[in-house]
Every structure is written in C-alpha cells, then in structure tokens.
C-alpha cells in the first residue's frame, strides 16, 4: 500500500489529478495502515479542493465609483492673478 501513496504522490507532482485520485482511492478501498489511510484521505481532500478552485471563477471585483469629470465642479474657479480685478487706491 505504500506503493499506492508513492504512485499517487508522483501523479500529483505531474498534475495528473485523475491518476492520483485513483491511487489514493484504491488504498482506501483495499485498506492500509491507519497512517496510510489518513494520508490518502488528506490527499483526496487536497485534490478535491484544487479541482473546486479551478472550477469556481474568481469573485468579481465590485464596480469602482467614478468621480465627476474634471473641470465640472460646483465651485466657481478663482480668477488667475493676471485676470484679477485690482482696485487702485489713492494714498494721501
């Protein structure tokens, strides 16, 4: 039964999930030591989690809030210094 774990781990290293799954399931079906069965069960759960992650599309990001277009603000623009109206005051 150690052979099934070794073959399953080799298949996982080559990303051959189906073959790895078959080897680990074979060990569980035909029995092994308590430790071997724990290893096989853990590997099968890891394979299942990996397959589910590949099937499930990533969550979409929420739409971004767009700010108002530049130049269209509610506040009036301050005049440029060259456009400022100056009042001439006589000093006596």
Tell me the per-residue pLDDT of 30-61, one tens digit each, with 9 for 90 and over: 999 999 999 999 999 999 999 888 887 767 77
Separation of alpha carbons 5 and 3, rounded Å: 5
pLDDT at 55: 84
Question: Has residue 16 been placed in a domain?
Answer: yes
Question: Has residue 73 been placed in a domain?
Answer: no
Domain region containing 10 = 2-55
pLDDT at 21: 95
Q: Residue 7: which residues within 8 A CB-CB, separation 6 or more?
A: 19, 23
Tally of structural domains, the chain: 1
Residue found under tokens 């277009």: 69
Question: Has residue 41 been placed in a domain?
Answer: yes
Question: Has residue 62 been placed in a domain?
Answer: no
The per-residue DSSP string of 71-87 comes to T--SSPPPPPGGG----
Average pLDDT over residues 65-89: 64
Residue found under tokens 């990996």: 50
Residue (of 46, 55, 37) closest to 12 by Cα position: 46
Question: Has residue 32 been placed in a domain?
Answer: yes
pLDDT at 29: 94
Residue (of 4, 56, 51, 57) closest to 30 by Cα position: 4
pTM over 0.85: no
């Amino acid at each position: 039964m150690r052979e099934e774990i070794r073959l399953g781990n080799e298949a996982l290293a080559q990303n051959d999930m189906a073959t790895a799954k078959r080897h680990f399931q074979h060990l569980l079906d035909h029995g092994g030591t308590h430790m071997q069965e724990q290893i096989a069960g853990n590997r099968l759960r890891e394979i299942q989690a990996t397959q589910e992650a590949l099937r499930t599309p990533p969550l979409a990001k929420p739409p971004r809030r767009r700010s108002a277009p530049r130049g269209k603000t509610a506040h009036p623009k301050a005049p440029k210094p060259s456009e400022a109206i100056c009042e001439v005051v006589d000093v006596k």
